């Protein structure tokens, strides 16, 4: 049996920065809305 493996690498600022991080609510967060970092549209990365 063969399994595929995929690794994704990113600068930690892309993940945890208060302004741009996708894993934190961010400085514009408003409860009960979709106004948080993880809801913002992101451009496609380099391939």
For residue range 10-42, what is the model confidence (pLDDT) as tens digits? Answer: 899 989 999 889 899 999 899 999 899 888 888
pTM: 0.60
Contact 17, 10 (CB under 8 A): no
pLDDT of 41 reads 86
pLDDT of 20 reads 85
Domain boundaries, the chain: 12-40
pLDDT of 42 reads 80
State yes or no: pLDDT of 46 exceeds 90.
Answer: no
């Amino acid at each position: 049996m063969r399994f595929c493996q995929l690794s994704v690498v990113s600068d930690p600022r892309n993940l945890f920065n208060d302004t741009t991080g996708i894993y934190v609510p961010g400085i514009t967060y408003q409860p009960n809305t979709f106004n948080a970092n993880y809801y913002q549209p992101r451009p496609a990365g380099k391939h």
